[in-house]
A and B are shown apart, each in its own frame.
Chain A
Amino acid sequence: MKYYVIRNYTVENMFDESCSFSLYNALNIKEINKWDGDAVVCFLMYPLTGNYKDKISALEANIETLKLLINSCTKRLILLTMHPISKSYHPAYDFELLRLVNNYNEICWKAGSTNGNVICFDYSSFLKQYPDSLLIDWKHFYLSQLGLNPKLVRDFQDWFSAQYNSFLSIRKKCLVLDLDNTLWGGVIGEDGMEGIKLGGSYPGNAYEDMQRRIYAAYENGVILSLCSKNNETDALQVIENHPNMILKNEHFAITRINWNNKAENIQDIANTLNIGLDCIVYIDDNPSEREIVKSLLPDVVVPDFPDKPYLLPSFIEDILCKYFSIYSVTKEDINKTLQYRQNAERNEFKNRFRDYNQYLKELNMFLEISLAKLVDIPRIAQLTQKTNQFNLTTRRYSEDDIKNMVNNKDIVLCARVKDKFGDYGLTGVCILKHNGVDSVDIDTLLMSCRVIGREVENEFIRQIIQYLSKLGYKHITSSYIKTNKNSLVESFYENNGFNIKEQNANCKNYELYIDNYNTESKNIVEVIWDDEKKNN
C-alpha cells in the first residue's frame, strides 16, 4: 500500500519504501491532494519533549492540524488516535493533557463515523497492549526522533495492515432480513396482525427497537431487502398497516416474499441489485434456513441469531458495527462524496487559502536571524554536512572552513526557529560571498527539514534580501545544484523572485536585482533580528 504519512516524529522505519512522508509537523494540503497513492495517514503522536506547558501548546496545534486536514483533504484519509505516554508530577496537568488527547481522539472518531472518506484506526489500543516503559526507546528518540520503540515496529506493521485489510474485506452493502420472529415476534400466518409482538411491552419493544436501529442504517446508505417464506399479502399488510412497524415497504430495495428456497431468493436479490454475494448479510431466526444459505451460498455472511428477544437490539448493533460501519460506503458513494467536495473546494478556494494562512499564523512561528558567532560554528558545519533536502548547493564544510569564512568577511547568517511545537534551535544557515562591490553570491542556503514547509524558509530568504539591501547591495546571484535528495528546492529561487540566468540538467544559476524585488511578506512568521557586529 502506498501511503502519504503526516507525522510529527520519525516514522519512516514503520512504513514501507513506497510511502511518502510530510515534513515534521507540516501540512501541505496542495501537495497531499495532488499526491497519487492509496491513502493519506495522519499519524501525529503524543508530544514527547518539553514540560507540560510545551505539551499543551503542541497538542493544541496538533488538534488544529487534524481539523484542517479533515476539512480539506480530498483523498481517503486514515486517522490514527493518539496515546498519552508520559506522566507529569502534577495531577491537574495530567488531566489537562488527557483532556486534549481525548479531544483529539474524539475528532478522529467523529470524522471516521460521519465522513465516508475517513477511517479511524485506534493506535492507542495497539500501544495499550504494552507497558508504558516499552513504548519509547529514549536513545533512538533523542538520536533520530523515533516515535516508537524499534522493537515494536514489526508488531505495528502487522497491526496496521490487519486494520486496513479488515476494513477492505468487511465491506457489506446489503442487509437481507427475514420477517417472522426476526422483525417481529410470532408468525403472521398463525398469529395474525393482532397476535404478533411488535412495540408495546416486552418482547414487542425489543423488536421495535431493533427496527429503529436498522432504519438508521438505511438512512446511512445500507441497502435493505426482505426475504421471507410467507403469503405476500399477509406480510405486506403488516408492513404497511401495523402501527409499530418502523420499516416500511419503501425502505426495502427488493422484497422476495414467497415460498421459494431462500438461497435462490438471495441469489436473485444479488443479481437484481447487481452486487456480489459477498456484499450480503442475511438475518434469519430459523437455524435450518441459515444452514441452507450458508451451505449453498458460502459468500453470504449469516450470523447466528440470538435466542432471546431482549438480545436483539444489541445483536443488530454489533452486526451494523462489524459489517456496515459508515466508512464502508461503496466506491460510487466515495466518488460522489469526492465530487461534491471538489466542487465545494473550488468555490471556497479563496476562503480555504485564507484559513491556511490563518492556521499557519496560529502556530506562532518565530525566526531569529543573527550573524554567526564563534559558539555557532560547530553547529553550522554540522548542518552543512548533514542537510540534504532543503539545501540549495549541498556544499559540505568543516568547522575550519566556516571559521575562515567568518574571518574573511563573508557573511554567515544563522536562523533559529521556534513554534508552538517547540524550540528547534539553530536550524538554518546562509553563507554569502562577495561578488564585487555591490553584489553577493549565495554560496549556501539550507534549513533543517524539521522546520520547513510552513513559510519559514520563504521568510528567511526575504529577510536575507532585505538585509542585503539595507547594507547597500544591489545585486544577488545564487544557484541550485541538483542532488538525489534536494528536488524539494528545485524551484525555490524562482518562487522567491529570482530570475534564471542559465540552466542545465544539474544546475540553475539565478540573479536578482534588489531594486526589482517586491515580494511582500505574508506576515506569518514573526522575525527577530540580531545583527550586532560579530567577533564576540
Chain B
Amino acid sequence: MAKINVIRNTYGGLDYLLNALAYISDARSLYRGGFGVNPYNYEEAYNQMLIVRKWFNKVSGNPLVHIVIAYNDKVTDLEVAAKYGKKCAEYFAGKYQVLYCTHLKDTEYGSMHTHIVINAVSYHNGQMITTGYEEMTFFCQFVSEVTGQKCSFEFDNKAIKNN
C-alpha cells in the first residue's frame, strides 16, 4: 500500500518554503524534477515561486503544501519510483508550481518515496491551494491509478501560530 503524508504548516512563512525546497533537494535526492520552476537549483526555484506570489500580492500566508508519497516494498527500481513521482507531481502542475524529488528508503520512510513541494499560490489566477479531505481523497485515487497500489493518506499539521 502506498502512503501519502500531507504536511501543512500555515504559519511557516517563507523560511519554511526555502527550507522545504532545500530539504527535498539535498544529497538524498536521486531524481529531481519540476513544473514551473528550475529543478536543478532550489534557490532559483524558491525565487520563481516568490515571483508568482508577489505578482498576486500573496507573499504571506500559507507558503506551501508538502506531500510525501511512500511506495510499497514492491517498488525497488528508482526509475519506476521516479516515473510514479513525476506523474503524481503532474497532478498539481496545471495550476501550481511544483518541485518533486524521489529519495531512496531512509529512517523516516522505510521505502522509496517522492517528496512533492507545491507553491500554495496558483500561477494561473492566484488562488490558494486547498488540501482538505475531499481534495486529498481525489489525489489518493489518482495515486492508486498511477502506482497500481492501494493508497491511504494522513494529514500532518504543523501549524502553530506565534504571536
* A, B from the same assembly: no
- Chain A interface (Cβ < 8 Å from any Cβ of B): none
